[in-house]
Amino acid sequence: MNNVLAIAHKELRSYFASPIAYIVIGFFALLFGWFYIGILDWFVRQGMQMGPMGMGQSNMNVNQQMVRPLLLNMTVVFLFLLPLITMRTYAEEKRSGTIELLLTSPLTDVEIVAGKFLGAMGLYAAMLAVSLLHFGLLFAFGTPEWKPLVTAYLGLLLFGGCFISVGLFISSLTKNQIVAGAATFGVFLLLWVIDWIGQGMGPRAEAVLKYLSMTEHLDDFVKGVIDTKHLVYYLSFITFGLFLTVKSVDSERWRG
């Protein structure tokens, strides 16, 4: 475990020593702020229209009508930002030769991969934390439920974890971080639209592709429900991504 933390710490350091962390967090803050203000504006106007009609504020649900669409929309942003987080993890170590240090240290492949995953998750969590500040404001001025917010963030962490595990795997396949970034974006996009592809392919295919779609599983979390079905989906997805990464690093040794 110490080894895993040592690698994770190193990864986080290197994110913050390079522009990557600031670009990722900055863009996220900007876009999130933009969406947030837009939706807040809409929400407030809706409330004012409803007010005079006698329906009262009570029918307006902050969680359902504001937090939920906002977070689901924000996941699009991850398509662009998460490849930036994962693209260099392995590619850069291979290019610069530091992979030789890691692979000749008394570490197992699993420890190295887990450390890199944790490091990337750390940056991702830091990015998400920015959005918490905005939601904090909601608590200052209203009374949203906090439970759906907690499950929503758990869902987002798992959702991002899937992308990050895939991104790590792709980064382990090349020496070139730009190639890794572009390929990762492509694969994310595919995972993103996979349920659209299924439309019109018959009910069976539709159901399967819908199950594979990552966004599909997020909605319940954002609604405030933790369904084991979704939990299992995300955790097995992450495990599979990390497993592929370990295998890739291992086979890289054989190829030299």
| Residues touching other proteins, count (CB under 8 A) | 26
Q: Which stretch binds other proteins (CB under 8 A): 53-61, 96-104, 154-162, 234-242?
A: 96-104
Which of 37, 55, 61, 100 contacts other proteins by CB under 8 A?
A: 100
Closest separation in Å from C-beta 105 to other proteins? 5
Which of 12, 66, 70, 102 contacts other proteins by CB under 8 A?
A: 102
Which of 10, 134, 223, 247 contacts other proteins by CB under 8 A?
A: 10
Residue 105 within binding range of other proteins, rule CB under 8 A: yes
- Amino acid identity of residue 46, one-letter, is Q
Is the CB of 20 or the CB of 39 nearer to other proteins? 20
Interactions with other proteins, residue window 11-70 (CB under 8 A): 13-14, 17-18
Is the CB of 141 or the CB of 254 nearer to other proteins? 254
- Which residues make Cβ contacts (< 8 Å) with residue 63, sequence separation at least 6? 144, 145, 148, 149, 224
Is the CB of 15 or the CB of 237 nearer to other proteins? 15
- Contacts to other proteins by CB under 8 A: 2-3, 6-7, 10, 13-14, 17-18, 96-108, 253-256
